[in-house]
Amino acid sequence: MTAPMPISLQVNGERVDTHVLPRLNLADFLREHLHLTGTHVGCEHGVCGACTVRVNNEIVRACLMLAVQTHGASVQTIEGLSDSGEVADLQAAFRDRNALQCGYCTPGMLMAAQDFLLQQAEPDREQIREHLSGNYCRCTGYQAIVDAVETTARSRKAHK
Amino acid sequence: MTTRPAHRDILSVLDRPNSYIGKTVPRPNLDRLLQGRGLYVSDIELPRMAHVVFLRSPHAHAMIMAIDGGAAKRLPGVIAVVTGKELAAVITPWVGVLSHLKGLKSAPQSAIAIDRVCWQGEAVAAVVATSRAAAEDAAEHVTVEYRELEAVTDMRTALDPKTPVIHSALGDNLAFERTHDAGQVDRAFAQSDTVVEAEFVFGRHTGVTLEPRAVVADWNAAEARLTIYQGTQAPHMVQNIAALHLGLQEQQVRVVCKDVGGSFGIKVHIYADEMATYALSKLLRRPVKFVADRIESFNTDIHARDHRCMGRIGVERDGTITAFEIDDLTGIGPYSMYPRTSAIEANQVVNLVGSPYVTKNYRARARVVFQNKNLMCQYRAVGHPIACSVTEGLVDLVAMKIGVDPVEIRRRNLIADDAYPCASPSGLRFEKLSHHASLDKLLGMMDYQLLRAEQAELRKKNIHRGIGIASFVEVTNPSAAFYGVGGARISSQDGVAVRLDAQGSVICQTSITEQGQGSESLTAQIVGSVLGVSMERVRVILGDTDNTPYGGGTWASRGAGIGGEAALQAAKSLRKNILDVAAAILQSTAAELDIVSNSVVDADDGTPRIELKELARVVYFRPDTLPPGIQPELMATRHFVPREYPFAFTNGVQASWLEVDAETGFIKLLRHWVVEDCGTIINPQLVDEQIRGGVVQGLGAALFEKCIYDERGQLTNANMADYLVPMAAEMPDIDVGHVVSPTAESELGAKGAGEAGTAGAAAAVANAVNDALRPFGAIVTEIPLTPQVILTALARI
């Protein structure tokens, strides 16, 4: 089980056919093989949330999933979500509220926040805080992030 | 939009029409980070780049008897296995001392350990390979034979005669000692009506930057030039140190700093593994990349705090404070960190205890000892949380004892707002502080009386809530007094160059750096405001020693106050140059012209005369049409360093409202308030977010964060699952207010704000916990305030 294995998958809507070592995790695959460096690596053991991506519409820790497990799957990263415009309003809210400082947690934070907003259209602050508690931010103290997510939820509801 | 011609000359550049100063505007270029299109060092790849992995000591203290890298070298992809001795051929060792910290001593430290390891995690060999995975695989095949030595781990016994001396050449384990005696302390205590004494204990914690430390070093043998890509707060310092120890001229070293995934003081130092990476690139004549993994981060990123401080306070019957006395002890690991040293924190503690208060009677001793643990050095709010927690803890304990309200005792003793300039008992010179105005504002924001009433009601229901208040003084805008006078080549001045480009936009190069604080934004706001150019037409370049003026960077809350003033002065100079050219083109005088909204206008009535892009076109492409003798200078450079005051002290006050569960020992933070006086506020949102972020790091130290070492010097929680940091769910909303006392030292008037939050948060929480525990008669003076600490204080375990 140490020889490279073939995998085929969709990444941000583009088909990828390649060979990877079975031990390669999804975060390293995205960053080092596909050069999608928006997926960040903070702890490499599933705690910090910086590497959060979407696989088949579920958010996962890319450091805890092997690349070979994504064979046949559809993977979306922050680059894909940005280009499709899916999170443009959330990104604008983060920008206006300065809900990021160094920006290292931000792609994972946006992934987690978007996932939450798709599940819960009218969250209160406590629910937002609870849901984002799988994503570390060392810069902001979280309040600005909670504000930005809350603002986005309200504005999406108003525009529905 | 119109100008106000009558007052134009007396208007400060800060009050010009359309000024961005004091306004919340979004930081430029945030979309790059929001879309995952930033460039952190961990993202950088260069042709022929190799990856280094360090084999690290599993022992806290041991002799290295033998290293065998033979098997590792034969593995696929492995380029080299390098020991400390081999690397010493290209890099010299260093000693982390500064001459103004009298008596500070340390031992020579090497990039990779030679013969002996002094903490668990010290590198013993470097494995360089074509991929990180290959290097990690190979590292498992390097065998090292150790002979374990006794580890010095407890700072309380580090100076005992029977404790081994870590560096025998130094004679003992005492790195530094400072004493201070001001006023008449013995007499003051003897005449006090009440004296309270307590020992305050502070856990060792660390910064946990979300992006680990990372460096790519690229030695180009043909150019004889080293390019260092590093997430650092101080590029010119890195340039100086790398050149010094690699035997190069500074001009042979370029330091480039793109996006940085968190710093907080962790990335203002130079680490042995970073030095080793520079040296490996030179040795192997190719780019080498090092990215710490999370375990390495915990074992090698500088740790902070780890103090045990005895404190004593005396008061008269009416609550007038008569004296403070402290005896502080801190353990810094086996070496003093380079080049800023590990004595600064204890020195700051001596400087800052008692500093918000009137009493002149103050005695202090601080001792800094070596131990076989990871190195300790300056992390956000250096020394402040210790000094604030000890001072404010003592004030609350004595207030409790004599039955005076915590607010009342502060009102009685804080330095009066009209008493400035004045000096603290440790000799700090205060230009202008606002303790009373800040406290009044805070009490209004939190509705103190209402909270007290609520607290009393809830106590009847066996719900234990507490209010904690902490006033503090913060060191910002440091001059050369911080490092330069001690011989460190760490610039205290910063420089900014601004130029008008050929389309009338502005390019601005600054020596301060960006790690998310908003350096780029504040620079663009200042330059745009002074010049009369819209902010989106100001491009800011930072983090590159080849392309910015020389300067210190961003640390010690200095970016806005020092780099911001340099930007202001450079923009003023460019503005004058532009108006001189415009006057020549328009056959007018500079005094009759102004620049507003990207155009030169008549100062009197705002009539547009010539757009900046047209002026630039003439200057750059048709200078032949200018009057004879005119040589336009559409670029200006200015530098700034404070000269009158060694530091611009700021002040503030924080309050915490929390609930303690007396059954489980858990603490729930309910609300937190901060009032801060950082002088001129350039961007209110950025200041508030600096404060909130700083508070949360202080709350982490107060409740969760601790590097737990066992008695053999093993770090037992070196991972993010076991080392707890604040998460969104546990953190309260934080209200931030301001009092504004600009410094007269600069035209901008800005002081620093980046560390204020961290300075006072833990003290406010600890005081609130003691307030909540008052019915139980329990007192805690140790952080982090874990359930174990609370339940122990309650005698429940």
Q: Rounded to an integer, what distance in angstroms lies between the CA atom of residue B270 and that of residue B252?
A: 18
Q: Which domain holds residue A30?
A: 5-81
Residue from the list A77, A98, A146 with its beta carbon closest to the beta carbon of B685: A98
Residue from the list B207, B263, B294 with its beta carbon closest to the beta carbon of A43: B294
In this predicted structure, the answer to whether residue B5 has a pLDDT above a threshold of 60 is no
Based on the fold, state whether residues A22 and A36 are members of the same structural domain.
yes
Structure-token match 């209010």, residue found: B467
In this predicted structure, the answer to whether residue B647 has a pLDDT above a threshold of 50 is yes
Last residue within a domain, chosen from A81, A113, A131: A81
The DSSP output letter for B86 is H
> Residue A35: phi, psi to the nearest 5?
60, 30
What digits encode the pLDDT tens for the residues B438-496?
999 999 999 999 999 999 999 999 999 999 999 999 999 998 888 889 999 999 999 99
Query: Using an 8 Å Cβ cutoff, are B414 and B356 in contact?
Result: yes
B38 in reach of chain A (CB within 8 A)? yes
Please list every residue in chain A whose beta carbon sits closer than 8 Å to the beta carbon of residue B726.
Answer: 141-142
ipTM of the complex: 0.98
In the predicted model, what is the mean pLDDT of residues B559-568? 95
Q: Rounded to an integer, what distance in angstroms lies between the CA atom of residue B509 and that of residue B726?
A: 36
Based on the fold, state whether residues A122 and A66 are members of the same structural domain.
no
Tally of CB atoms within 10 A around B244: 17
In the predicted model, what is the mean pLDDT of residues B527-532? 96
In the predicted model, what is the mean pLDDT of residues B526-552? 97
Do A142 and B261 count as a contact with CB atoms less than 8 A apart? no
A45 in reach of chain B (CB within 8 A)? yes
* Residues in CB range of B683: below 8 A, 6 or more apart: B20, B22, B23, B24, B25, B518, B521, B522, B525
Query: Using an 8 Å Cβ cutoff, are A54 and A38 in contact?
Result: no
Q: Is the pTM of this model over 0.90?
A: yes
Q: Rounded to an integer, what distance in angstroms lies between the CA atom of residue B70 and that of residue B89?
A: 20
Pick among B31, B33, B75, B232 to test the A interface (most A CBs inside 10 A) = B33
The CATH number that applies at residue A10 is 3.10.20.30
Which segments in chain A show pLDDT lower than 70? 1
Q: How confident is the model at residue B16 (pLDDT cuts 50, 70, 90)?
A: confident
Structure-token match 């504005």, residue found: A155
Pick among A138, A150, A151 to test the B interface (most B CBs inside 10 A) = A138
In this predicted structure, the answer to whether residue B14 has a pLDDT above a threshold of 80 is no
Query: Using an 8 Å Cβ cutoff, are A143 and A98 in contact?
Result: no
In the predicted model, what is the mean pLDDT of residues B228-234? 96
Burial of A160 (0-12, 13-18, 19+ CB in 10 A): exposed
* CA nearest to B231 within chain A: A102
Domains of chain B: 6-38+493-640 (3.30.365.10), 434-477+645-797 (3.30.365.10)
Query: Using an 8 Å Cβ cutoff, are B372 and B118 in contact?
Result: yes
Query: What is the separation, in whole angstroms, between the first and last Cα of chain B?
Result: 70
The DSSP code sequence of B361-426 is -EEEEEEEE--SS--B---TTTTHHHHHHHHHHHHHHHHHHHT--HHHHHHHHBPPTTS-SEE-TT
The DSSP code sequence of B436-481 is HHHHHHHHHHHTHHHHHHHHHHHHHTT-EEEEEEEEEEEEES--TT
Based on the fold, state whether residues A76 and A121 are members of the same structural domain.
no
Please list every residue in chain A whose beta carbon sits closer than 8 Å to the beta carbon of residue B40.
Answer: 37, 40, 104
Q: Rounded to an integer, what distance in angstroms lies between the CA atom of residue B351 and that of residue B425?
A: 8
Q: Give, in order, the Cα–Cα distances in Å from B28 to each of B22, B535, B688.
A: 16, 9, 18
A43 in reach of chain B (CB within 8 A)? yes
Do A100 and B209 count as a contact with CB atoms less than 8 A apart? no
A64 in reach of chain B (CB within 8 A)? no
In the predicted model, what is the mean pLDDT of residues B151-165? 97
In this predicted structure, the answer to whether residue B2 has a pLDDT above a threshold of 60 is no
Do A42 and B294 count as a contact with CB atoms less than 8 A apart? yes
A127 in reach of chain B (CB within 8 A)? no
What digits encode the pLDDT tens for the residues B571-595?
999 999 999 999 999 999 999 999 9
Pick among B25, B29, B30 to test the A interface (most A CBs inside 10 A) = B30
Residue from the list B35, B210, B518 with its beta carbon closest to the beta carbon of A104: B210
pLDDT score recorded for residue A2:
84
Strands lying side by side in the sheet with B253-256:
B78-83, B123-129, B50-56, B288-291, B214-220, B225-230, B253-256
Query: Using an 8 Å Cβ cutoff, are A103 and B33 in contact?
Result: yes
Do A101 and B210 count as a contact with CB atoms less than 8 A apart? no
Based on the fold, state whether residues A11 and A77 are members of the same structural domain.
yes
Domains in chain A, number: 2
Based on the fold, state whether residues A144 and A91 are members of the same structural domain.
yes
Task: Give chain B's mean pLDDT.
Answer: 96
Q: Rounded to an integer, what distance in angstroms lies between the CA atom of residue B152 and that of residue B160?
A: 11
Nearest by Cα to A17 from A2, A26, A25, A5: A5
Give the residues across from B476 on adjacent strands.
B648
Give the residues across from A54 on adjacent strands.
A59, A76
Exposure letters A13-24 (e unless 16+ CB within 10 A, then b)? eeeeeeebbeeb
Do B728 and A128 count as a contact with CB atoms less than 8 A apart? yes
The DSSP output letter for B94 is B
Please list every residue in chain A whose beta carbon sits closer than 8 Å to the beta carbon of residue B294.
Answer: 42-45
Do A37 and B696 count as a contact with CB atoms less than 8 A apart? no
Do B693 and A101 count as a contact with CB atoms less than 8 A apart? yes
* Residues in CB range of B444: below 8 A, 6 or more apart: none
Reading the block at residue A60, the tokens are 């996962």
Query: Using an 8 Å Cβ cutoff, are B640 and B655 in contact?
Result: no
What digits encode the pLDDT tens for the residues B67-100?
999 999 999 999 999 999 999 999 999 999 999 9
Please list every residue in chain A whose beta carbon sits closer than 8 Å to the beta carbon of residue B293.
Answer: 44
Q: How confident is the model at residue B790 (pLDDT cuts 50, 70, 90)?
A: very high
A89 in reach of chain B (CB within 8 A)? no
Do A138 and B35 count as a contact with CB atoms less than 8 A apart? no
pLDDT score recorded for residue B18:
81
Q: How many A×B Cβ pairs under 8 Å?
A: 176
Exposure letters B741-753 (e unless 16+ CB within 10 A, then b)? bbbebbbbbbbbb
In this predicted structure, the answer to whether residue B1 has a pLDDT above a threshold of 50 is no
Q: How confident is the model at residue B11 (pLDDT cuts 50, 70, 90)?
A: low
Structure-token match 């004889």, residue found: B224
pLDDT score recorded for residue B13:
74
Reading the block at residue B704, the tokens are 């969760």
**Among B residues 347-406, those touching chain A with beta carbons less than 8 Å apart:** none
Please list every residue in chain B whose beta carbon sits closer than 8 Å to the beta carbon of residue A37.
Answer: 36, 39-40, 42-43
In this predicted structure, the answer to whether residue B30 has a pLDDT above a threshold of 70 is yes
> Residue B111: phi, psi to the nearest 5?
-60, -40
Do A143 and B733 count as a contact with CB atoms less than 8 A apart? yes
Based on the fold, state whether residues A63 and A96 are members of the same structural domain.
no
Based on the fold, state whether residues A47 and A104 are members of the same structural domain.
no
pLDDT score recorded for residue B556:
87
CA geometry: angle at B77 spanning B71 and B83, to 5°? Answer: 50
Structure-token match 């409790």, residue found: B400
Give the residues across from B475 on adjacent strands.
B649
What digits encode the pLDDT tens for the residues B668-716?
999 999 999 999 999 999 999 999 999 999 999 999 999 999 999 999 9
Last residue within a domain, chosen from A39, A65, A81: A81
Pick among B34, B46, B536, B656 to test the A interface (most A CBs inside 10 A) = B34
Based on the fold, state whether residues A62 and A77 are members of the same structural domain.
yes
Please list every residue in chain A whose beta carbon sits closer than 8 Å to the beta carbon of residue B693.
Answer: 101, 138-141
The CATH number that applies at residue A141 is 1.10.150.120
Based on the fold, state whether residues A75 and A100 are members of the same structural domain.
no
A118 in reach of chain B (CB within 8 A)? no
Nearest by Cα to A21 from B51, B212, B137, B127: B137
Please list every residue in chain A whose beta carbon sits closer than 8 Å to the beta carbon of residue B689.
Answer: 98, 101, 140-141, 144
The DSSP code sequence of chain A is --S-EEEEEEETTEEEEEEE-TT-BHHHIIIIIS--TTS--SSSSSSS-TTEEEETTEEEEGGGSBGGGGTT-EEE-HHHHHHHTTTHHHHHHHHHTT--SS-SSHHHHHHHHHHHHHH-SS--HHHHHHHGGGS--SSS-SHHHHHHHHHHHHHHHHT-
Based on the fold, state whether residues A98 and A154 are members of the same structural domain.
yes
Last residue within a domain, chosen from A40, A61, A81: A81
Between these two residues, B15 and B185, which has the higher pLDDT value?
B185
Do B210 and A48 count as a contact with CB atoms less than 8 A apart? yes
Please list every residue in chain B whose beta carbon sits closer than 8 Å to the beta carbon of residue A146.
Answer: 728
Query: Using an 8 Å Cβ cutoff, are B496 and B523 in contact?
Result: yes
The DSSP output letter for B6 is G
Query: What is the separation, in whole angstroms, between the first and last Cα of chain A?
Result: 50
Based on the fold, state whether residues A154 and A91 are members of the same structural domain.
yes
Three-state SS at B536: helix
Q: Quick one: how far is CA B329 from the chain centroid?
A: 22
Q: Rounded to an integer, what distance in angstroms lies between the CA atom of residue B399 and that of residue B407?
A: 9
B264 in reach of chain A (CB within 8 A)? yes
Based on the fold, state whether residues A114 and A131 are members of the same structural domain.
yes
Do B693 and A139 count as a contact with CB atoms less than 8 A apart? yes
The DSSP code sequence of B599-653 is EEEETTT--EEEEHHHHHHHHHH-GGGSPTT-----EEEEEE---SSSSEEEEEE
